Amino acid sequence: MNKIITIGREFGSGGREFGKHLAEELGFAYYDEEIVSAIARRSELAESYVSQVLEHRIQTYYPITVANTLSLHHGDAVYAVTGSIYAAQTEILREMAEKSDCVIVGRCGDYILSQFQPLRFFLYADMPSRIARCRAKGEDNRSRTDRELERNIRSVDRSRAQYYRFYTGQAWGDRHNYDICLNATNLNLKAAAQAIAILVRRGPLEQPEQ
């Protein structure tokens, strides 16, 4: 069975950076939520594109920008659309997991891929460091106040929590749904990824000795 790593994360906590470092350290394929969503949305239109993506391990980071599926606002239609996307991405995530070792950020990967016994991470951080990270990462965010950024961060987190709850019936961020939760506030994410890579290579999920 392939080694699968899933990463849930608070918005602005550095989950994607951590995932990239980890994939790089391990030589695993890396898929983030935008990639998975984009593939799912395009899958009906461009089967060939999907297979192309699935044939190759995605080590580089695709410049795909897609509208967040949850930002659609057409009443009940939203459920139909996100529902079919969820079904498509469930299938795609499983195909990815069967194809090769991989790191998957977001998209309820921990839940959808439970049969693969993934090593499940959750990244979090305190609000000041998340605000600082958002400002550093997004050009549009440079001119926004701390209060505006905080409002946006909380709103994205709420969406993630709702999405996760809707599709898994579980509480997003509840430690019992994850194997390792990392506070990125002060943690050196690259050093953490290097250490975790060693753990992954050794096989972390064995029954502890009694």
Interface ranges with its own copies (CB under 8 A): 14, 17, 117, 122, 124, 126, 132-133, 136-137, 173, 175-176, 178-192, 194-196, 198-199, 202-210
Q: Nearer to its own copies by C-beta: 30 or 122?
A: 122
In whole angstroms, what is the distance from residue 123 CA to residue 111 CA? 16
Rounded Cα–Cα distance for residues 53 and 57 (Å): 7
Smallest distance, its own copies to C-beta of residue 210, A: 4
Task: Say how far apart CA 209 and CA 205 lie, in whole Å.
Answer: 12
**Least Å from the CB of residue 161 to its own copies:** 14
Of 165 and 201, nearer to its own copies (C-beta) is 201
Closer CB to its own copies, residue 66 or residue 181?
181
In the complex, least distance from residue 82 CB atom to its own copies, rounded to whole angstroms: 28
CB-nearer residue toward its own copies: 55 or 209: 209
Cβ atoms < 10 Å from Cβ of 97: 24
Cβ 202 to its own copies shortest distance, Å: 5
